[in-house]
A = this chain, B = another copy of it.
């Protein structure tokens, strides 16, 4: 049975900041630069969810992409879109919302929700100069 990787791309817009409460303002700006601005900044995030599996002999699908898209919205995008990652979202507000950590969090939200295929990779682009990838390792 051939193994194929299928990727669905979704987008969301969110506000965040990078800030360690235990640190002084000076130390926060030294570490995080402009990303520490107390009044937040934000991004257009692009999320790529890659799953693996074998195409069904009848439908040719390894997963119904419409269903996959619905799961991604229900578990991830509906919670993050037009939200503040540090304040609004129960599963992100206790974590530093870097691209790296967000990729791990999104993996954990999705890994048990897929049927008939395996979650293979989460790729999250924060800007056109940086992205993170997580394979559940």
Chain B: minimal CB distance from A134 (Å): 5
Chain B: minimal CB distance from A45 (Å): 9
Task: Kindly report which residue of chain B lies nearest to residue A86, judged by CB atoms.
Answer: B39
B101 touches A133 (CB 8 A): no
- What B residues does A4 contact at CB under 8 A? 100, 103-104, 132-134
A137 touches B2 (CB 8 A): yes
Number of copies: 6
- What B residues does A6 contact at CB under 8 A? 99-100, 130-133
Contacting B at CB under 8 A, from A26-40, are 31-35, 37, 39-40
Q: Which residues of A contact B (CB under 8 A)?
A: 2-11, 13-16, 18, 20, 31-35, 37, 39-44, 50, 55, 58-62, 64-66, 81-84, 87-88, 95-101, 103-104, 127-137
20 pairs, A vs B, C-beta closer than 8 Å = A2-B104, A2-B134, A4-B100, A4-B133, A5-B133, A7-B131, A11-B128, A13-B42, A31-B64, A34-B81, A39-B88, A40-B40, A40-B42, A41-B84, A42-B42, A43-B43, A44-B44, A59-B98, A60-B98, A65-B130
